[in-house]
Amino acid sequence: MHVVIAPDCFTGTLTATQAAEAMAAGWAQTAPGDVLTLVPLSDGGPGFLDVLERALDGEMIATIVGDPLGREVPAGVLLVGAEGERTAYVESAQAAGLHLLAASERDPAVTTSYGVGQLLLAAREAGAKRVVVGLGGSGTNDGGAGLLAALGAGPPEHLARGGLALRDLGPDALAGLDRVQAEWAGIEIVAATDVDNPLLGLQGASAVFGPQKGASPQLAQDLEGALGHYADRVWRFGPPRTDLLTGTPRRLDKEPGAGAAGGLGFALFVLGAHRRSGVDLVLDAVGFRDLCAAADLVVTGEGSFDWQSLRGKVVTGVAQRALATATPAIVIAGRVLVGRREAMGVGLSGMYAVAADPAQEEAAFADPVGTLRARAARVARTWSP
């Protein structure tokens, strides 16, 4: 039996590679005769660059950028293609990732995406004509204002002080935005997003993802107001483009993916970016359809299989690719919060939780490799002949 093991990272505990290796070890323990192909994946969040570096023939350029609190951290830009036609891949989480912050430091009121702008500058300086930005796993909620500050759209002391400070933006805070847009007009920018949320509203960045980053209900409301004020300032210096079909102005804050990574999607759209599903981009890069066609079973996984998983995440992308080749797909997750009907609706044939109750969750966090390996071993008894 040929089994493709293709998980995302288990956020906060295991990288995608570590998860794939743990699942494979458990599976092999029960079904040593099975052929296992390990394909760690990402949807644009943490691990995006690692996955693409393995799949693409490119050169990794090392650089130093600021983290969400302005501290220097190592990062990379993956360059692919010949000079003059280079595509640069960057991972926003390397500069703005939640994993860069201790639990006590998680405060979207003050965290900034300035370092992501530094990554874009590094990509342009390396000669890239196309920049693909993986979005996901951020610890920021500043609408990409910090990114725009790094590119020169306005003073960092106004734009790079976190999401809450945006409520105090003056009328000239983005006076350099039109110049920045002109500078980047000749570079294709792709926003590889893991979600399709808008910037504002009940499904927006602050309301949906703010709490994950440390925002209280009151702070989430305050951030919503601050981002609304910021979006208004953006229109003053960077008028919205016209929709070619309707002739009406495009509201970039309402575009699917504008709320990705705390609103980084919105800032990229302001620069002229177009959106692509991060998981689809990664699955194409690794040749996932062919892998599914050659397999008898696909096993994917992530830390929490919940309602967000149904909106552009790795598990759903894997299930749909497997469904296209009539290959059964199952998910092993740290916890499962999705009903069987919803899981079957995206193409999954089975769901298996590592932790079914709080006591088991504590054990899983204490030994993520061991508990995931043990769960995979039990699942193999069901699926391997």
Q: Cα–Cα distance between 273 and 324 in angstroms, integer?
A: 29
Q: Are residue 338 and residue 219 in the same domain, yes or no?
A: no
| Highest-scoring range by mean pLDDT, 216-230, 306-320, 355-369 | 216-230
Q: Do residues 221 and 159 touch, judged by C-beta distance below 8 A?
A: no
Q: Are residue 220 and residue 364 in the same domain, yes or no?
A: no
Q: Are residue 219 and residue 266 in the same domain, yes or no?
A: yes
Given 249, 279, 309, the domain boundary residue is 279
Q: Using 50, 70 and 90 to split pLDDT, how confident is the model at 75?
A: very high
Q: Are residue 317 and residue 368 in the same domain, yes or no?
A: yes
Mean pLDDT calculated for residue range 350-371: 86
pLDDT digits (tens, 9 = 90+) for 177-202: 999 999 999 999 999 997 889 999 99
Query: pTM of the prediction?
Result: 0.90
Q: Are residue 296 and residue 259 in the same domain, yes or no?
A: no
CATH number where 122 lies: 3.90.1510.10
Q: Are residue 141 and residue 260 in the same domain, yes or no?
A: yes
Given 279, 303, 318, the domain boundary residue is 279
Q: Are residue 25 and residue 59 in the same domain, yes or no?
A: no
Amino acid identity for residue 74 in this structure: P
Q: With 0-12 CB in 10 A as exposed, 13-18 as middle and 19+ as buried, what is 29?
A: middle
Q: Are residue 367 and residue 227 in the same domain, yes or no?
A: no
Q: Do residues 121 and 271 touch, judged by C-beta distance below 8 A?
A: no
pLDDT digits (tens, 9 = 90+) for 53-73: 999 989 999 999 999 999 999
Q: Are residue 136 and residue 242 in the same domain, yes or no?
A: yes
Mean pLDDT calculated for residue range 116-125: 98
Q: Cα–Cα distance between 316 and 319 in angstroms, integer?
A: 5
Q: Are residue 18 and residue 58 in the same domain, yes or no?
A: no
Q: How many domains does the chain have?
A: 2
Q: Look at residue 251 in the predicted model and tell me its pLDDT.
A: 85
Given 279, 314, 347, the domain boundary residue is 279
Q: Look at residue 305 in the predicted model and tell me its pLDDT.
A: 87
Q: Cα–Cα distance between 374 and 22 in angstroms, integer?
A: 9
Q: Are residue 203 and residue 234 in the same domain, yes or no?
A: yes
Confidence check: pLDDT of 247 > 70: no
Mean pLDDT calculated for residue range 26-32: 96
Q: Which domain holds residue 12?
A: 2-41+287-383
CATH number where 318 lies: 3.40.50.10350
Contacts of 335 (CB under 8 A, 6+ apart): 303, 304, 305, 306, 353, 354, 355, 356, 361
Confidence check: pLDDT of 101 > 80: yes
Q: Are residue 196 and residue 266 in the same domain, yes or no?
A: yes
